[in-house]
Amino acid sequence: MRATEPPRTEIVFPDPRGTPEPGIVAVGSDFRPGTLLQAYRSGIFPWPHGHHVLWFSPDPRAILPLEGELHWSRSLRRTLRRHPFEVTVDQAFVEVMRACGYTRDATWITPALARGYTALHKLGWAHSVEVWEHQGERRELVGGIYGMAIGGLFAGESMFHTRTDASKIAFATLAGRLQTRGFVLFDVQVMSDHLASLGCIDVSRHEYLARLERALEVDVGF
C-alpha cells in the first residue's frame, strides 16, 4: 500500500544548513502529520525538552550504512540465528511507541507527539518492528523499534527492550528489511555507545542532507 499524503500545513522550517551547535533549527509545538513529514523531508526531527519542543538537525548525524553487507558482531549474529523470540512488523505500533516512552531516556515521547506518529502510522508513513516472547498461549512484547519511512529514507525514532538483546534483534531485523526493500538511508539521529556497537557511524550534516536528497527520490515501499 502507498502511504497517503496528509494535508500540507502552513509551517515553514528554516534551511538547516549552517545551523549552529547544538543543531536547534526551530522551536514550537506542532505535530500534525503534514508538519512532521515536512520536517523529516528537510532533515529535521522533533525532540521535546520539558515544556519546549525543539526541532533538530544535528551535526554530525548518525546513520547505519546500508551499502554492502551489514556487519553485525559475532555475538549478535549468534543471537539472530538462535533467539527464541517471534519478530513481527507493524502489528503493535502504538504499543512499541508507548514502551519506548517508558524508558528512562525517552521522556521526549509526549502524548501529543505520540498522537502525531500514530496518525502517520495510520496513513502508512510510520512503522514498527516488534519482538515477542511466548509464554504458553500468551505472548509479551519485549522489544521493538519504530520510525518513519519516506522514499528511500527510514528515520529511526526510538527502540526499547525488556529482555536481553531484544532491541538489537528488532534493529537488525529492520536494517535487513530496509536493505532488502531498497532503502538507501537509515537515519538514527544521534550517536550513542549502543548504536556504535551496532555499526552506526557519524556523517556531517552536509553529507546527511545530500544523502537525504537522493533518498527522497527513491521509490520503494516498506
Q: Considering the domain boundaries, does residue 109 fall inside one? A: yes
Contact assessment for residue 132 and residue 170, using Cβ atoms and an 8 Å cutoff: no
Range of the domain at 162: 61-215
In this predicted structure, what is the pLDDT of residue 199?
Answer: 96
Contact assessment for residue 3 and residue 27, using Cβ atoms and an 8 Å cutoff: no
Q: Considering the domain boundaries, does residue 56 fall inside one? A: no
The residues of the chain scoring below 70 in pLDDT are: 103-107
Q: Considering the domain boundaries, does residue 44 fall inside one? A: no
In this predicted structure, what is the pLDDT of residue 153?
Answer: 98
Q: Considering the domain boundaries, does residue 190 fall inside one? A: yes
Q: Considering the domain boundaries, does residue 32 fall inside one? A: no
Contact assessment for residue 150 and residue 126, using Cβ atoms and an 8 Å cutoff: no
In this predicted structure, what is the pLDDT of residue 103?
Answer: 64
In this predicted structure, what is the pLDDT of residue 53?
Answer: 87
Count CB neighbours of 48 within 10 A. 17
In this predicted structure, what is the pLDDT of residue 104?
Answer: 54
- Domain count for the chain, please give it: 1
Q: Considering the domain boundaries, does residue 73 fall inside one? A: yes
In this predicted structure, what is the pLDDT of residue 87?
Answer: 98
Q: Considering the domain boundaries, does residue 43 fall inside one? A: no
Q: Considering the domain boundaries, does residue 206 fall inside one? A: yes
CATH number of the domain bearing residue 174: 3.40.630.70
User: Which set of grid coordinates corresponds to residue 162?
Assistant: 525488556
In this predicted structure, what is the pLDDT of residue 29?
Answer: 86
